[in-house]
Amino acid sequence: MSKLELKNINTTVNVGTNEEKRILKDINLTLDDGDFVTLLGTNGAGKSTLLNIINGSLKPTSGEVLLDDENLTNESEVKRAKYIAQVFQDPKMGTAPRMTVAENLLLATKRGQRRGLRLRKLDKHMPEFSRETSQLPNGLNERLNTFVGNLSGGQRQTLSFLMATIKRPKLLLLDEHTAALDPNTSRSLLELTDDVVKKQKLTCIMITHQLADALKYGNRTIILNSGQIILDVKGKERDKLSEDDILQYFAD
Ligand SMILES: Nc1ncnc2c1ncn2[C@@H]1O[C@H](COP(=O)(O)OP(=O)(O)OP(=O)(O)O)[C@@H](O)[C@H]1O
């Protein structure tokens, strides 16, 4: 089970200065187990901030974050990493460049645990990593002993995705994770994402600016505008939506 609840989330930054800005306004949202949400909104709408509130890198000014009824609001980002995995837009984030692909994968299998001398056990895991990467695009399976800093952006992003999901997270957050990739690489990572989210029955939020992808992938679409949810649809109501319908929500 993986149920995410956001209760009355408000986020204001630079409080008391003339830079004060209210980013998220009274967000109430419940994600049911297995919901795969595509999250849309104009630049600056607050999408990344919302993910930051969920992953714990930013504390809300008020409100609560609950995962499976456990109140995480005051839990650190490190503690939440045990349950919540994220892939960012920048392929350089989320992987260690001076370690090999296999070493990065080993760290990912231990997500949320204390890090000790675990790298010694690398050999034992190589067959598993070979198998895990053999189905992936970008020839990552031939790069297991390559330093991550020497991978292409597409390979590195595929690795980031595998690291986020190799140990099943309760919640997967994707912040425009294919936006920096060429069209073909982006497509194969999106297809892989869809496949893994369905197979592992993950609860997932994926930020995208591609309207077609927002409707094609997932089971639920949410639009954020000036820090508020202005559309939240799933099921038949969502099936009826066209890209043009969605565009209306972007009009000023
Ligand atoms: N720590 C901060 N200090 C000041 N302003 C911030 C901070 N974090 C976010 N903002 C501002 O809050 C607004 C929302 O930012 P956020 O990154 O969440 O938007 P977004 O919807 O993800 O946008 P994009 O589509 O451009 O990635 C923006 O105007 C941003 O500049």
Q: Which atom of ligand 1 is nearest to the CA of 224?
A: 21
pTM of the complete model: 0.95
What pLDDT was estimated at residue 113? 72
Mutation test residue for ligand 1: of 11, 21, 175, the one with most atoms within 8 Å of CB:
21
β-pair partners for 13? 21
Complete domains list, the chain, with CATH: 4-248 (3.40.50.300)
With a 6 A CB cut-off, is 46 part of the ligand 1 pocket? Answer: yes
Tokens standing for residue 136: 């992936």
Mutation test residue for ligand 1: of 20, 23, 25, 55, the one with most atoms within 8 Å of CB:
23
CA distances in angstroms from 194 to 8, 41, 154, 201, listed in the order given: 30, 21, 17, 10
E strand or H helix at 171: strand 171-175
What pLDDT was estimated at residue 115? 59
CA distances in angstroms from 3 to 35, 71, 83, 204, 224, listed in the order given: 9, 12, 12, 10, 20
Nearest to 145 by CA among 113, 186, 117, 106: 106
Residues 39, 205 contacting (CB under 8 angstroms): yes
What pLDDT was estimated at residue 116? 58
Q: How far apart are CA 20 and CA 23, in angstroms?
A: 10
- Ligand 1 centroid to Cα of residue 34, in Å, is 27
CA distances in angstroms from 200 to 70, 80, 125, listed in the order given: 22, 19, 21
What pLDDT was estimated at residue 143? 94
Per-residue tens of pLDDT for the chain, all 252 residues:
789 999 999 999 999 999 999 999 999 999 999 999 999 999 999 999 999 999 999 999 999 999 999 999 999 999 999 999 999 999 889 899 999 999 999 999 887 776 554 566 788 899 999 999 998 888 899 999 999 999 999 999 999 999 999 999 999 999 999 999 999 999 999 999 999 999 999 999 999 999 999 999 999 999 999 999 999 999 999 999 999 999 999 876
What pLDDT was estimated at residue 75? 96
Tokens standing for residue 125: 């895991």
ipTM of the complex: 0.96
Mutation test residue for ligand 1: of 25, 43, 55, the one with most atoms within 8 Å of CB:
43
With a 6 A CB cut-off, is 227 part of the ligand 1 pocket? Answer: no
With a 6 A CB cut-off, is 100 part of the ligand 1 pocket? Answer: no
